[in-house]
Amino acid sequence: MAGKTLFDKVWDSHVVEQIENGPSVLYIDRHLVHEVTSPVAFGGLEKRGLKVFRPQNTVATADHNVPTVDQHLPIKDLLSRSQVDKLTQNCNKHGITLYGLNHPYQGIVHVIGPETGLTQPGMTIVCGDSHTATHGAFGSVAFGIGTSEVEMVLATQCIMQPKPKKMRITIDGELKKGVTAKDIILYIISKISASGGTGYFIEYAGSAFRNLTMEGRMTVCNMSIECGSRGGLIAPDEVTFEYLKGKDFAPKGEAWDKAVNYWKTLKTDHDAVFDLELKYDTADIEPMITYGTNPGMGIKITGKVPVGTSLPENEKPSFYKSLSYMGIEEGSAMLGKQVDYVFVGSCTNGRIEDLREFARFIKGKKKADNITAWIVPGSKQVEKQAIEEGIMKVLEDAGFKMRQPGCSACLAMNDDKIPEGKYAVSTTNRNFEGRQGPGARTFLASPITAAAAAITGKITDPRDFL
Protein backbone atom coordinates (compact mmCIF):
# COMPACT_ATOMS: atom_id res chain seq x y z
CA MET A 1 0.00 0.00 0.00
CA ALA A 2 1.32 3.42 -0.91
CA GLY A 3 2.22 5.74 1.94
CA LYS A 4 0.16 8.67 3.08
CA THR A 5 0.61 12.34 2.51
CA LEU A 6 0.62 14.77 5.40
CA PHE A 7 -2.81 15.90 4.26
CA ASP A 8 -4.16 12.31 4.27
CA LYS A 9 -2.86 11.73 7.76
CA VAL A 10 -4.61 14.74 9.22
CA TRP A 11 -7.80 14.40 7.18
CA ASP A 12 -8.24 10.66 7.65
CA SER A 13 -7.80 10.87 11.41
CA HIS A 14 -10.75 13.27 11.59
CA VAL A 15 -13.29 11.32 9.54
CA VAL A 16 -16.25 10.39 11.73
CA GLU A 17 -18.09 8.75 8.87
CA GLN A 18 -17.50 8.33 5.17
CA ILE A 19 -20.56 8.57 2.95
CA GLU A 20 -20.32 6.34 -0.08
CA ASN A 21 -19.91 8.38 -3.25
CA GLY A 22 -20.25 11.45 -1.13
CA PRO A 23 -18.56 13.67 1.38
CA SER A 24 -16.67 12.77 4.55
CA VAL A 25 -18.13 13.79 7.87
CA LEU A 26 -15.13 15.61 9.24
CA TYR A 27 -14.57 16.43 12.91
CA ILE A 28 -13.36 19.97 13.56
CA ASP A 29 -10.87 20.73 16.33
CA ARG A 30 -10.96 24.50 16.15
CA HIS A 31 -13.71 26.70 14.92
CA LEU A 32 -12.88 30.37 14.58
CA VAL A 33 -15.77 32.80 14.35
CA HIS A 34 -16.06 36.45 13.33
CA GLU A 35 -18.89 38.95 13.16
CA VAL A 36 -19.69 38.88 9.43
CA THR A 37 -20.32 35.25 8.53
CA SER A 38 -21.73 34.06 11.86
CA PRO A 39 -25.00 35.88 12.71
CA VAL A 40 -27.14 33.95 10.23
CA ALA A 41 -25.58 30.70 11.44
CA PHE A 42 -26.39 31.47 15.08
CA GLY A 43 -29.87 32.49 13.93
CA GLY A 44 -30.32 29.14 12.18
CA LEU A 45 -29.19 27.30 15.27
CA GLU A 46 -31.75 29.11 17.37
CA LYS A 47 -34.55 28.45 14.90
CA ARG A 48 -33.84 24.77 15.41
CA GLY A 49 -33.75 25.24 19.16
CA LEU A 50 -30.14 24.06 19.41
CA LYS A 51 -27.20 25.10 21.55
CA VAL A 52 -23.60 25.22 20.43
CA PHE A 53 -22.39 21.62 20.70
CA ARG A 54 -18.77 22.27 21.74
CA PRO A 55 -18.35 25.90 22.77
CA GLN A 56 -14.87 25.10 24.12
CA ASN A 57 -13.67 24.33 20.56
CA THR A 58 -14.83 27.71 19.34
CA VAL A 59 -13.19 31.13 19.63
CA ALA A 60 -14.54 34.40 18.26
CA THR A 61 -13.18 37.83 17.46
CA ALA A 62 -14.38 41.04 15.81
CA ASP A 63 -12.17 42.00 12.89
CA HIS A 64 -13.78 42.43 9.46
CA ASN A 65 -16.04 45.28 10.26
CA VAL A 66 -14.31 47.23 13.03
CA PRO A 67 -12.90 50.75 12.75
CA THR A 68 -9.12 51.14 12.95
CA VAL A 69 -9.22 54.45 14.80
CA ASP A 70 -10.83 55.30 18.13
CA GLN A 71 -11.67 51.72 18.94
CA HIS A 72 -12.49 52.72 22.51
CA LEU A 73 -15.52 54.68 21.26
CA PRO A 74 -18.83 53.13 20.19
CA ILE A 75 -18.70 52.11 16.51
CA LYS A 76 -20.17 54.95 14.45
CA ASP A 77 -21.50 52.90 11.55
CA LEU A 78 -24.76 51.53 12.91
CA LEU A 79 -24.85 48.40 10.79
CA SER A 80 -21.29 47.51 11.73
CA ARG A 81 -22.04 48.16 15.34
CA SER A 82 -25.10 45.94 15.29
CA GLN A 83 -23.09 43.12 13.71
CA VAL A 84 -20.38 43.39 16.37
CA ASP A 85 -23.00 43.61 19.13
CA LYS A 86 -24.77 40.58 17.74
CA LEU A 87 -21.52 38.62 17.93
CA THR A 88 -21.11 39.59 21.57
CA GLN A 89 -24.66 38.52 22.37
CA ASN A 90 -24.28 35.23 20.55
CA CYS A 91 -21.00 34.44 22.28
CA ASN A 92 -22.39 35.29 25.70
CA LYS A 93 -25.46 33.23 25.14
CA HIS A 94 -23.56 30.18 23.95
CA GLY A 95 -20.55 30.36 26.26
CA ILE A 96 -18.02 31.08 23.50
CA THR A 97 -14.74 32.84 24.26
CA LEU A 98 -14.76 36.21 22.52
CA TYR A 99 -11.75 38.41 21.88
CA GLY A 100 -13.79 41.49 21.10
CA LEU A 101 -12.72 45.08 20.61
CA ASN A 102 -10.41 46.29 23.38
CA HIS A 103 -9.52 42.76 24.46
CA PRO A 104 -5.72 42.30 24.47
CA TYR A 105 -6.07 39.31 22.11
CA GLN A 106 -8.40 40.95 19.59
CA GLY A 107 -7.27 40.96 15.98
CA ILE A 108 -7.68 39.41 12.56
CA VAL A 109 -8.91 35.90 13.13
CA HIS A 110 -6.02 34.30 11.23
CA VAL A 111 -3.44 36.34 13.06
CA ILE A 112 -4.69 35.62 16.55
CA GLY A 113 -5.13 31.85 16.11
CA PRO A 114 -1.40 31.26 15.64
CA GLU A 115 -0.16 33.89 18.07
CA THR A 116 -2.25 32.55 20.96
CA GLY A 117 -1.26 28.95 20.19
CA LEU A 118 -4.84 27.95 19.33
CA THR A 119 -3.51 26.80 15.97
CA GLN A 120 -1.53 23.58 16.28
CA PRO A 121 -0.16 20.88 13.98
CA GLY A 122 -2.44 18.01 13.03
CA MET A 123 -5.66 19.87 13.75
CA THR A 124 -8.65 20.49 11.56
CA ILE A 125 -9.45 24.20 11.65
CA VAL A 126 -12.30 26.01 9.94
CA CYS A 127 -13.66 29.54 9.88
CA GLY A 128 -16.25 31.34 7.80
CA ASP A 129 -13.46 33.01 5.90
CA SER A 130 -11.48 31.73 2.96
CA HIS A 131 -8.08 32.73 4.35
CA THR A 132 -8.38 30.10 7.04
CA ALA A 133 -5.82 28.45 4.78
CA THR A 134 -3.25 30.48 6.77
CA HIS A 135 -3.25 27.95 9.62
CA GLY A 136 -1.96 25.25 7.29
CA ALA A 137 1.49 26.69 7.96
CA PHE A 138 1.47 24.59 11.13
CA GLY A 139 0.68 21.34 9.35
CA SER A 140 -3.01 21.51 10.09
CA VAL A 141 -5.86 21.02 7.64
CA ALA A 142 -7.44 24.45 7.64
CA PHE A 143 -9.93 25.89 5.20
CA GLY A 144 -12.70 28.43 4.81
CA ILE A 145 -16.38 27.53 4.94
CA GLY A 146 -19.70 29.20 4.20
CA THR A 147 -22.33 30.24 6.70
CA SER A 148 -24.42 27.05 6.39
CA GLU A 149 -21.28 25.15 7.27
CA VAL A 150 -20.59 27.48 10.20
CA GLU A 151 -24.00 26.47 11.46
CA MET A 152 -23.13 22.79 11.01
CA VAL A 153 -19.97 23.15 13.05
CA LEU A 154 -21.77 25.09 15.76
CA ALA A 155 -24.45 22.39 15.90
CA THR A 156 -22.33 19.26 15.64
CA GLN A 157 -18.61 20.18 15.54
CA CYS A 158 -18.56 18.49 12.12
CA ILE A 159 -18.94 19.41 8.49
CA MET A 160 -19.49 17.39 5.37
CA GLN A 161 -16.78 17.75 2.79
CA PRO A 162 -15.71 15.81 -0.25
CA LYS A 163 -12.02 14.98 0.18
CA PRO A 164 -9.96 17.19 -2.14
CA LYS A 165 -7.25 15.96 -4.47
CA LYS A 166 -3.64 16.46 -3.45
CA MET A 167 -1.01 18.61 -5.06
CA ARG A 168 2.59 19.11 -3.97
CA ILE A 169 4.58 22.18 -4.91
CA THR A 170 8.27 21.74 -4.31
CA ILE A 171 10.72 24.61 -4.40
CA ASP A 172 14.32 24.08 -3.45
CA GLY A 173 17.19 26.51 -3.20
CA GLU A 174 18.10 29.80 -1.57
CA LEU A 175 15.86 32.78 -2.14
CA LYS A 176 17.49 35.65 -3.98
CA LYS A 177 18.06 38.96 -2.25
CA GLY A 178 14.86 40.96 -1.76
CA VAL A 179 12.60 37.96 -2.37
CA THR A 180 10.09 37.23 0.40
CA ALA A 181 7.42 34.65 1.18
CA LYS A 182 4.86 36.92 -0.48
CA ASP A 183 6.84 36.89 -3.71
CA ILE A 184 6.99 33.09 -3.67
CA ILE A 185 3.24 32.72 -3.42
CA LEU A 186 2.52 35.48 -5.96
CA TYR A 187 4.95 33.72 -8.26
CA ILE A 188 3.19 30.36 -7.80
CA ILE A 189 -0.23 31.88 -8.47
CA SER A 190 1.05 33.67 -11.57
CA LYS A 191 2.27 30.29 -12.82
CA ILE A 192 -0.80 28.17 -12.12
CA SER A 193 -3.44 30.95 -12.43
CA ALA A 194 -6.23 32.02 -10.11
CA SER A 195 -8.03 28.73 -10.70
CA GLY A 196 -5.14 26.28 -11.11
CA GLY A 197 -5.49 24.90 -7.60
CA THR A 198 -9.24 24.34 -7.66
CA GLY A 199 -10.19 20.94 -6.30
CA TYR A 200 -6.80 20.46 -4.63
CA PHE A 201 -5.20 20.84 -1.26
CA ILE A 202 -1.57 21.90 -1.65
CA GLU A 203 1.45 20.74 0.30
CA TYR A 204 4.39 23.12 0.05
CA ALA A 205 7.67 21.26 0.27
CA GLY A 206 11.36 21.93 -0.23
CA SER A 207 14.02 24.10 1.31
CA ALA A 208 12.53 27.38 0.09
CA PHE A 209 9.61 26.81 2.46
CA ARG A 210 11.53 25.05 5.22
CA ASN A 211 13.87 28.04 5.47
CA LEU A 212 10.98 30.44 6.02
CA THR A 213 9.94 31.63 9.47
CA MET A 214 6.45 30.68 10.68
CA GLU A 215 5.25 34.13 9.63
CA GLY A 216 6.57 33.56 6.12
CA ARG A 217 4.96 30.12 5.95
CA MET A 218 1.66 31.66 7.02
CA THR A 219 1.89 34.21 4.21
CA VAL A 220 2.36 31.39 1.71
CA CYS A 221 -0.43 29.17 3.03
CA ASN A 222 -2.74 32.18 3.42
CA MET A 223 -2.83 32.79 -0.31
CA SER A 224 -3.40 29.15 -1.29
CA ILE A 225 -7.02 30.12 -1.82
CA GLU A 226 -5.97 32.68 -4.46
CA CYS A 227 -5.13 29.89 -6.87
CA GLY A 228 -8.46 28.25 -6.11
CA SER A 229 -7.13 25.68 -3.65
CA ARG A 230 -9.11 25.24 -0.45
CA GLY A 231 -5.91 25.30 1.54
CA GLY A 232 -2.24 24.60 1.72
CA LEU A 233 -0.04 23.09 4.36
CA ILE A 234 3.57 22.68 5.38
CA ALA A 235 4.91 19.82 7.49
CA PRO A 236 5.65 20.92 11.06
CA ASP A 237 9.30 20.97 12.15
CA GLU A 238 11.56 22.52 14.78
CA VAL A 239 10.67 26.01 13.53
CA THR A 240 7.00 25.24 14.19
CA PHE A 241 7.63 23.79 17.65
CA GLU A 242 9.88 26.68 18.60
CA TYR A 243 7.18 29.16 17.56
CA LEU A 244 4.46 27.37 19.53
CA LYS A 245 6.37 26.65 22.70
CA GLY A 246 5.07 28.67 25.61
CA LYS A 247 2.13 30.15 23.72
CA ASP A 248 -1.02 30.52 25.83
CA PHE A 249 -2.97 27.59 24.45
CA ALA A 250 -0.05 25.36 23.47
CA PRO A 251 0.25 22.15 25.48
CA LYS A 252 2.50 22.43 28.55
CA GLY A 253 4.86 20.09 30.42
CA GLU A 254 4.36 16.41 29.74
CA ALA A 255 1.55 17.13 27.35
CA TRP A 256 3.94 19.24 25.30
CA ASP A 257 6.40 16.36 24.91
CA LYS A 258 3.63 14.01 23.96
CA ALA A 259 2.30 16.50 21.43
CA VAL A 260 5.71 17.11 19.85
CA ASN A 261 6.23 13.36 19.49
CA TYR A 262 2.98 13.13 17.62
CA TRP A 263 3.61 16.24 15.55
CA LYS A 264 6.90 14.78 14.38
CA THR A 265 4.98 12.00 12.64
CA LEU A 266 3.09 14.55 10.59
CA LYS A 267 4.93 14.41 7.31
CA THR A 268 4.38 12.90 3.92
CA ASP A 269 5.66 9.33 3.56
CA HIS A 270 8.35 8.79 0.95
CA ASP A 271 6.18 6.57 -1.19
CA ALA A 272 3.02 8.71 -0.96
CA VAL A 273 1.46 9.71 -4.26
CA PHE A 274 0.06 13.12 -5.20
CA ASP A 275 -2.49 13.78 -7.91
CA LEU A 276 -0.28 16.57 -9.18
CA GLU A 277 3.35 17.51 -8.52
CA LEU A 278 4.86 20.86 -9.51
CA LYS A 279 8.43 22.02 -9.08
CA TYR A 280 9.92 25.48 -9.34
CA ASP A 281 13.35 26.93 -8.87
CA THR A 282 14.20 29.81 -6.55
CA ALA A 283 16.53 31.15 -9.25
CA ASP A 284 13.44 32.15 -11.23
CA ILE A 285 11.68 33.99 -8.37
CA GLU A 286 12.03 37.74 -8.02
CA PRO A 287 10.07 40.45 -6.24
CA MET A 288 6.55 40.30 -7.68
CA ILE A 289 3.71 42.71 -8.28
CA THR A 290 0.21 42.28 -9.72
CA TYR A 291 -1.14 44.48 -12.50
CA GLY A 292 -4.67 43.14 -12.96
CA THR A 293 -7.80 42.22 -11.05
CA ASN A 294 -7.11 38.68 -9.98
CA PRO A 295 -4.11 37.47 -8.00
CA GLY A 296 -2.92 35.32 -10.90
CA MET A 297 -2.18 38.50 -12.87
CA GLY A 298 1.26 39.00 -11.38
CA ILE A 299 4.69 39.62 -12.91
CA LYS A 300 8.25 40.22 -11.81
CA ILE A 301 8.43 43.81 -10.67
CA THR A 302 10.96 44.51 -13.42
CA GLY A 303 8.76 42.82 -16.03
CA LYS A 304 6.17 44.04 -18.50
CA VAL A 305 2.41 43.59 -18.50
CA PRO A 306 1.50 40.90 -21.08
CA VAL A 307 -0.14 41.82 -24.37
CA GLY A 308 -3.62 40.50 -25.09
CA THR A 309 -2.75 39.05 -28.49
CA SER A 310 -0.68 36.39 -26.74
CA LEU A 311 -3.78 35.06 -24.95
CA PRO A 312 -6.35 32.45 -25.99
CA GLU A 313 -9.48 33.98 -27.53
CA ASN A 314 -11.81 33.20 -24.60
CA GLU A 315 -9.52 34.91 -22.08
CA LYS A 316 -9.31 38.20 -23.92
CA PRO A 317 -12.55 39.85 -22.70
CA SER A 318 -11.63 39.37 -19.02
CA PHE A 319 -8.06 40.50 -19.67
CA TYR A 320 -9.05 43.74 -21.38
CA LYS A 321 -11.82 44.45 -18.89
CA SER A 322 -9.28 44.04 -16.15
CA LEU A 323 -6.69 46.36 -17.73
CA SER A 324 -9.28 48.98 -18.44
CA TYR A 325 -10.44 48.90 -14.82
CA MET A 326 -6.83 49.22 -13.69
CA GLY A 327 -5.98 51.93 -16.21
CA ILE A 328 -2.96 49.93 -17.29
CA GLU A 329 -1.61 49.57 -20.84
CA GLU A 330 -0.81 46.14 -22.18
CA GLY A 331 2.91 45.66 -22.66
CA SER A 332 3.81 48.51 -20.30
CA ALA A 333 6.36 48.43 -17.49
CA MET A 334 5.19 48.53 -13.87
CA LEU A 335 8.31 50.20 -12.48
CA GLY A 336 7.92 53.94 -12.08
CA LYS A 337 4.13 53.94 -12.04
CA GLN A 338 2.72 56.60 -9.70
CA VAL A 339 1.01 55.30 -6.59
CA ASP A 340 -1.40 57.11 -4.25
CA TYR A 341 -1.85 54.75 -1.34
CA VAL A 342 0.22 52.18 0.49
CA PHE A 343 -1.57 49.65 2.67
CA VAL A 344 0.35 47.39 5.03
CA GLY A 345 -1.75 44.91 6.95
CA SER A 346 -4.18 41.96 6.63
CA CYS A 347 -3.90 38.31 7.53
CA THR A 348 -1.39 37.93 4.69
CA ASN A 349 1.15 40.51 5.85
CA GLY A 350 -0.05 42.17 9.04
CA ARG A 351 2.06 40.17 11.48
CA ILE A 352 4.91 41.49 13.57
CA GLU A 353 7.56 40.26 11.17
CA ASP A 354 5.92 42.19 8.33
CA LEU A 355 5.92 45.40 10.35
CA ARG A 356 9.54 44.75 11.32
CA GLU A 357 10.56 44.38 7.68
CA PHE A 358 8.66 47.46 6.66
CA ALA A 359 10.18 49.48 9.49
CA ARG A 360 13.70 48.23 8.79
CA PHE A 361 13.30 49.32 5.20
CA ILE A 362 12.01 52.83 5.84
CA LYS A 363 14.23 53.57 8.83
CA GLY A 364 16.02 56.86 8.27
CA LYS A 365 13.93 57.64 5.17
CA LYS A 366 10.79 59.71 4.68
CA LYS A 367 7.36 58.93 3.35
CA ALA A 368 6.78 60.40 -0.12
CA ASP A 369 4.43 63.38 -0.12
CA ASN A 370 2.02 61.93 -2.66
CA ILE A 371 1.46 58.79 -0.58
CA THR A 372 -1.27 58.17 1.95
CA ALA A 373 -0.13 55.22 4.02
CA TRP A 374 -2.25 53.00 6.23
CA ILE A 375 -0.27 50.70 8.47
CA VAL A 376 -2.64 48.36 10.26
CA PRO A 377 -1.33 45.75 12.71
CA GLY A 378 -2.98 42.34 12.46
CA SER A 379 -3.81 42.18 16.15
CA LYS A 380 -3.60 43.88 19.52
CA GLN A 381 -0.59 41.72 20.36
CA VAL A 382 1.17 42.78 17.15
CA GLU A 383 0.37 46.40 17.99
CA LYS A 384 1.76 46.02 21.49
CA GLN A 385 4.91 44.35 20.24
CA ALA A 386 5.39 47.06 17.60
CA ILE A 387 5.30 49.69 20.30
CA GLU A 388 7.64 47.76 22.60
CA GLU A 389 10.16 47.06 19.84
CA GLY A 390 10.26 50.71 18.78
CA ILE A 391 8.68 50.02 15.38
CA MET A 392 5.97 52.56 16.06
CA LYS A 393 8.65 55.19 16.70
CA VAL A 394 10.50 54.37 13.47
CA LEU A 395 7.25 54.66 11.55
CA GLU A 396 6.40 57.99 13.11
CA ASP A 397 9.87 59.42 12.47
CA ALA A 398 9.46 58.57 8.80
CA GLY A 399 6.04 60.22 8.63
CA PHE A 400 3.82 57.14 9.02
CA LYS A 401 1.07 56.48 11.52
CA MET A 402 -0.06 53.14 12.79
CA ARG A 403 -3.78 52.45 13.06
CA GLN A 404 -5.57 49.95 15.29
CA PRO A 405 -6.02 46.25 14.46
CA GLY A 406 -8.56 44.85 12.03
CA CYS A 407 -9.09 43.78 8.43
CA SER A 408 -9.40 47.40 7.37
CA ALA A 409 -8.75 48.20 3.69
CA CYS A 410 -8.14 44.54 2.90
CA LEU A 411 -11.86 44.32 2.19
CA ALA A 412 -12.96 47.89 2.90
CA MET A 413 -15.99 47.04 4.99
CA ASN A 414 -15.21 49.81 7.42
CA ASP A 415 -14.26 53.40 6.54
CA ASP A 416 -10.79 52.47 5.28
CA LYS A 417 -11.53 52.58 1.57
CA ILE A 418 -9.10 53.43 -1.21
CA PRO A 419 -10.91 56.14 -3.22
CA GLU A 420 -12.17 55.49 -6.73
CA GLY A 421 -9.49 55.44 -9.41
CA LYS A 422 -6.61 55.66 -6.93
CA TYR A 423 -3.69 53.26 -7.00
CA ALA A 424 -2.60 51.33 -3.93
CA VAL A 425 0.36 49.08 -3.36
CA SER A 426 -1.10 46.68 -0.86
CA THR A 427 0.31 43.79 1.17
CA THR A 428 -3.08 42.07 1.10
CA ASN A 429 -4.24 39.07 -0.91
CA ARG A 430 -6.91 40.22 -3.35
CA ASN A 431 -6.82 42.76 -6.15
CA PHE A 432 -10.41 42.18 -7.27
CA GLU A 433 -12.37 45.10 -8.68
CA GLY A 434 -13.60 47.20 -5.80
CA ARG A 435 -12.07 44.96 -3.16
CA GLN A 436 -10.35 47.87 -1.39
CA GLY A 437 -13.23 50.26 -2.05
CA PRO A 438 -15.47 50.99 -5.05
CA GLY A 439 -13.22 51.82 -8.01
CA ALA A 440 -10.00 51.22 -6.04
CA ARG A 441 -7.02 49.87 -8.00
CA THR A 442 -4.81 47.43 -6.15
CA PHE A 443 -1.27 46.23 -6.79
CA LEU A 444 -0.44 43.28 -4.56
CA ALA A 445 3.13 43.06 -3.31
CA SER A 446 5.36 42.24 -0.34
CA PRO A 447 5.84 44.54 2.66
CA ILE A 448 9.25 45.69 1.40
CA THR A 449 7.93 46.43 -2.07
CA ALA A 450 5.18 48.41 -0.34
CA ALA A 451 7.86 50.18 1.69
CA ALA A 452 9.80 51.08 -1.45
CA ALA A 453 6.65 52.58 -2.98
CA ALA A 454 5.88 54.43 0.23
CA ILE A 455 9.17 56.31 0.20
CA THR A 456 9.48 56.93 -3.55
CA GLY A 457 5.80 57.49 -4.34
CA LYS A 458 5.89 55.06 -7.23
CA ILE A 459 6.37 51.39 -7.99
CA THR A 460 9.99 50.71 -7.15
CA ASP A 461 12.18 47.65 -7.04
CA PRO A 462 12.94 47.21 -3.33
CA ARG A 463 16.36 45.80 -4.24
CA ASP A 464 17.41 49.31 -5.26
CA PHE A 465 17.65 50.04 -1.55
CA LEU A 466 19.06 46.79 -0.22
Task: Please report, as residue ranges, which positions from 116 to 135 form the binding site for ligand SF4 (by CB under 6 A).
Answer: 129, 131
Q: Which does 347 bind (CB under 5 to 8 A by kind): other proteins, ligand SF4, none?
A: ligand SF4
Ordered alpha helix ranges (H), 72-225? 78-94, 109-116, 147-156, 181-192, 207-210, 214-222
Residue 196 to residue 281: CA distance in whole angstroms: 19
- Check binding of 433 to other proteins (CB under 8 A): yes
- Check binding of 9 to ligand SF4 (CB under 6 A): no
Minimum CB separation from ligand SF4 for residue 439, in Å? 19
Q: Amino acid identity, residue 288?
A: M
Are 127 and 145 in contact, with CB atoms under 8 Å apart? yes
Q: Which stretch binds ligand SF4 (CB under 6 A): 113-121, 392-400, 406-414, 433-441?
A: 406-414
- Check binding of 141 to ligand SF4 (CB under 6 A): no
CA distances from 416 to 68, 269, 375, 406 (A): 8, 46, 11, 10
Binding mask 161-180 for other proteins (x = CB under 8 A): xx-x----------------
Residue 180 to residue 443: CA distance in whole angstroms: 16
- Check binding of 432 to other proteins (CB under 8 A): yes
Q: In this structure, how many other beta carbons lie within 10 angstroms of the beta carbon of residue 259?
A: 18
Q: Which residues pair with 304 in a beta bridge?
A: 333
- Check binding of 407 to ligand SF4 (CB under 6 A): yes
Residue of 3, 95, 317, 336 that binds other proteins (CB under 8 A) = 317
Task: Report the alpha-carbon angle 193-283-173, nearest 5.
Answer: 100
Q: Which stretch binds other proteins (CB under 8 A): 1-9, 17-25, 168-176, 377-385?
A: 17-25
Computed on alpha carbons and rounded to an integer, the radius of gyration of the chain in Å comes to: 21
Strand-pair category, 200-205 with 231-233: parallel
Residue of 156, 170, 211, 372 that binds other proteins (CB under 8 A) = 156
Task: Compute φ and ψ for 65, nearest 5 degrees.
Answer: -115, 10
Contacts of 451 (CB under 8 A, 6+ apart): 342, 344, 357, 358, 361, 362, 462
Residue of 4, 40, 170, 241 that binds other proteins (CB under 8 A) = 40
Binding mask 61-90 for ligand SF4 (x = CB under 6 A): --xx--------------------------
Task: Please report, as residue ranges, which positions from 313 to 352 form the binding site for ligand SF4 (by CB under 6 A).
Answer: 346-347
Task: Please report, as residue ranges, which positions from 63 to 92 form the binding site for other proteins (by CB under 8 A).
Answer: 64-65, 77, 79-80, 82-83, 86
Minimum CB separation from ligand SF4 for residue 129, in Å? 5
First to last CA, the chain: 51
Residue 451, H or E segment = helix 447-456
Are 2 and 272 in contact, with CB atoms under 8 Å apart? yes
Residue closer to ligand SF4, measured from CB, 328 or 424: 424
Minimum CB separation from other proteins for residue 116, in Å? 16
Q: In this structure, how many other beta carbons lie within 10 angstroms of the beta carbon of residue 16?
A: 12
Residue closer to ligand SF4, measured from CB, 212 or 225: 225
Q: Which does 69 bind (CB under 5 to 8 A by kind): ligand SF4, other proteins, none?
A: none
Minimum CB separation from other proteins for residue 78, in Å? 9
Minimum CB separation from ligand SF4 for residue 66, in Å? 10
- Check binding of 108 to ligand SF4 (CB under 6 A): yes
Using CB under 6 A as the criterion, which residues of the chain lie in contact with ligand SF4 when the complex forms? Answer: 63-64, 108-110, 129, 131, 346-347, 407, 410-411, 429
